[in-house]
Structure 1
Amino acid sequence: MRDGNVSSEKMEEGILFPKDIKKTKQRVEIFRILSESSRPMSAAEIYQCLMNRMDGTSFAISTVYRGLAVFEEKGYVTKSTLMGSETCCYEWNQGRHRHYAVCLKCHKFVPLESCPFEHAKIHGLGKDFTITGHKLELYGFCRECGGKIPETE
């Protein structure tokens, strides 16, 4: 997670782009898309947004994956893999962590209001283990999907 002490370069619209990342048109737009999003996004969703924003510019989805890998390596992006799927979602680190309930049918992310581990003590670890972080995703079915297990074909 980024701590806010990283040097940034101010862009034309007042958005700060990290100085420790090579600036390309695609990376700037990926940065904007993720920093403006209120939820995690898949690379395909980011690619579609990028295509809409950069009409006339052609590039491959691999450009998005490479950009996301750079942002993740530098700690600006958190990558999550959906349970039972190969789909990964990416979220901009904003100095705080978030947890989600994820619909197994439509893959909608519903943010939890707070972290259930924020003030909890983990019993059974004793002094043999130091916790440095955690990740929690709850899986089920959203209201729009009927809260039911989908029928198998």
Structure 2
Amino acid sequence: MKEQNIKWPSGLKRTRPRQKVLSVLEHAEEPLSAMDISTEIEKDGGTVWMSTIYRILDLFEKEGIVLKISMMDNEMALYELNRSRHKHYAICLGCRKILPMDNCPMGNFVPKIEEEDFHVVGHHIVVYGYCRECSSKKSK
């Protein structure tokens, strides 16, 4: 688990459900779905309705607290804290395994696009495919 290093956002009312969602995301090793967040809250002996979790995640996204990763093949999304350092991911469409990419492929592209009078404020890259295990199952 990661150490807690996110301060409560100023101007945002502190409620138990919001604190629980933020705590789960602070300790997450990888992006989580709303259902994953609910499961983690329940493991800790708490309960938060799914509709409340979705509202909190929407609010946190609007406030810049979380980043939302949309899945390519369905409406499910994954969420992670916005820790002022970004990551990119490869996601298996078979088993949903999430692999973080260690380097940013945009490093060379951003300066070039900024030369064209375009100010980049952020980006997020998700690569979809199949992990080794799922690829071998598909080929059988």
Task: Kindly provide the amino acid, as one letter, of the partner of residue 115 in structure 1.
Answer: C
**Please, what is the CA RMSD of the aligned residues?**
2.7
Compared with structure 1, are the counterparts of its residues 123 and 46 closer, same or farther at alpha carbon in structure 2 (3 Å cutoff)? same
Matches within 5 A, 1:55-134: 55=46, 57=47, 59-120=48-109, 127=116, 129-134=118-123
In the alignment, structure 1 residue 22 sits paired with structure 2 residue 13: yes
Aligned CA distance change for structure 1 residues 133 and 148 (closer, same or farther; 3 Å) = farther
Q: Shift of residue 38 of structure 1?
A: 1.6
* Whole-angstrom CA distance in 1 between matches of 2:62 and 2:11: 11
CA separation of 1:15/1:86 partners in 2, compared to 1, >3 Å: closer, same or farther? closer
What's the counterpart of residue 144 of structure 1?
Answer: 133
Aligned length: 137
- Partner Cα separation in structure 1 for residue 94 and residue 10 of structure 2: 39
CA distance in 1, matches of 2:5, 2:81: 18
Q: Whole-Å Cα distance in 2 between the matches of residues 44 and 103 of structure 1?
A: 18
Q: Structure 1 runs of 4+ off > 2 angstroms?
A: 13-20, 119-133, 143-151
Which of the pair is proportionally richer in helix?
A: 2
CA contact (8 A) 2:114 2:120 kept: no
Q: Percent identity?
A: 36
SS in structure 1 at match of 2:109: coil
Contact preservation (8 Å) 1:78, 1:92: yes
Selected match of 2:42 from 51, 57, 80: 51
Instruction: Report the TM-score when normalising by structure 1.
Output: 0.76
Report the secondary structure of 1:54's partner residue: coil
The more displaced of 115-124 and 92-101 is: 115-124
The Cα shift of 1:14 comes to 8.4
Larger Rg: 1
Measured in 2, the distance between the counterparts of 1:86 and 1:54 equals 28
Give the alignment of 1:4-43 within 5 angstroms. Answer: 16-43=7-34
